[in-house]
């Protein structure tokens, strides 16, 4: 996969040299390039912004530097458009399912906006050359797109073959199946009057798997009940249904429905 990031603060992306993503770059599993938007300006002040038409506070990023930058990094493959991701509070919510989807693409381009954002004409023009996908990490506002890009590149990059040493760890983590991950423990088995759950010391892998599954339901019910509302419950086992019933959930038409005043919140 090739990833290109355009920003006026390329130094902000330095952490992508570290840890698993940095190693993936060194091993040739991921090509990642960071570009300074200011190199695509033509005036001596390297200006990338101007006042907004119609008035109002703040500045807006100028269209021409962005068009020049995006044209320079676009590498269409066999007629397929690269995917242009524009971090924006007005974008679709980024999640694990999207991370898996984007990990299948050949090229991702991230446009890190600043100030009041990028001139909207850039987004309209870019649709001729890219599959444009504005995306949001959550319902809050950041100073720029760089923080969001760091998060998205790590979430996507770690799904590429060979990046994570043990691929099985990707299967059991939070959001991989619509649930939060179960609690994890390590040695010692007793620490400051807190003990590891006995089932994890039993050696009974069937019971351990069942405990972990039920802990996923419990933790998700307590911390993110909204995920259970979207969970596809049509193929749940009897044991899963019983565990959810204990938490105050019934399966109705293939979906989980909380009993009023009974489910964890």
- Which residues of the chain fall below pLDDT 70? 165-176, 261-265
Task: Examine the fold and report which residue of 165, 191, 215 is the final residue of a domain before the chain moves on.
Answer: 165
Instruction: Flag whether 254 is marked binding.
Output: no
The pLDDT assigned to 198 comes to 96
Q: Are residues 26 and 120 in the same domain?
A: yes
Task: Examine the fold and report which residue of 103, 131, 165 is the final residue of a domain before the chain moves on.
Answer: 165
- Pick left, alpha or beta for residue 121 (phi over 0 → left; psi -120 to 50 → alpha; otherwise beta): alpha
Task: Examine the fold and report which residue of 165, 198, 232 is the final residue of a domain before the chain moves on.
Answer: 165
CATH number of the domain at 209, please. 1.10.1270.20
Domain count for the chain: 2
- pTM exceeds 0.95, yes or no: no
Instruction: Flag whether 185 is marked binding.
Output: no
Instruction: Flag whether 141 is marked binding.
Output: yes
Backbone φ and ψ of 11, nearest 5°: -65, -25
Buried-state track 115-154, b at ≥16 Cβ within 10 A, e below 16: bebbbeebbebbeebbebbbbbbeeeeeebbbebbbebbb
Q: Are residues 180 and 61 in the same domain?
A: no
The pLDDT assigned to 8 comes to 97
Q: Are residues 147 and 173 in the same domain?
A: no
pLDDT tens for each residue of 200-225: 999 999 999 999 999 999 999 999 99
Distance from chain centroid for Cα 98: 7
Instruction: Flag whether 86 is marked binding.
Output: no
Cα-trace Rg, the chain? 23
Q: Are residues 10 and 69 in the same domain?
A: yes
Instruction: Flag whether 137 is marked binding.
Output: yes
CATH number of the domain at 18, please. 3.40.1280.10
The pLDDT assigned to 262 comes to 59
Instruction: Flag whether 83 is marked binding.
Output: no
The pLDDT assigned to 167 comes to 62
Q: Are residues 183 and 120 in the same domain?
A: no
Q: Are residues 171 and 160 in the same domain?
A: no
Instruction: Flag whether 139 is marked binding.
Output: yes
**Domain that includes residue 194, residue range:** 166-264
């Amino acid at each position: 996969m090739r990833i290109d990031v355009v920003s006026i603060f390329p130094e902000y992306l330095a952490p992508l040299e570290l840890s698993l993503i940095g190693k993936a770059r060194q091993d040739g599993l991921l090509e990642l390039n960071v570009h300074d938007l200011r190199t695509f300006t033509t005036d001596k002040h390297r200006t990338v912004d101007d006042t907004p038409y119609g008035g109002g506070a703040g500045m807006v990023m100028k269209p021409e530097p962005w068009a020049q930058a995006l044209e320079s990094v676009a590498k269409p493959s066999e007629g397929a458009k690269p995917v242009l991701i524009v971090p924006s509070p007005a974008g679709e919510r980024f999640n694990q399912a999207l991370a898996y989807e984007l990990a299948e693409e050949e090229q991702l381009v991230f446009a890190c906006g600043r100030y009041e954002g990028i001139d909207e004409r850039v987004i309209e023009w870019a649709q001729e050359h890219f599959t444009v996908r504005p995306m949001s990490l959550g319902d809050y506002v950041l100073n720029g797109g760089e923080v969001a890009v760091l998060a998205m590149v790590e979430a996507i990059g770690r799904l590429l073959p060979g990046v994570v040493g043990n691929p099985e760890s990707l299967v059991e983590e939070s959001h991989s199946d619509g649930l939060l991950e179960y609690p994890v423990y390590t040695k010692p088995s007793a620490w400051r009057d807190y003990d590891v759950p006995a089932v994890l010391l039993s050696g009974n892998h069937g019971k351990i798997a069942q405990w972990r599954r039920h802990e996923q339901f419990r933790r998700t019910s307590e911390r993110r009940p909204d995920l259970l509302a979207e969970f596809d419950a049509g193929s749940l086992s009897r044991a899963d249904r019983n565990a959810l019933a204990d938490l105050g959930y019934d399966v109705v038409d293939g979906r989980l429905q909380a009993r009023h005043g009974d489910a964890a919140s």
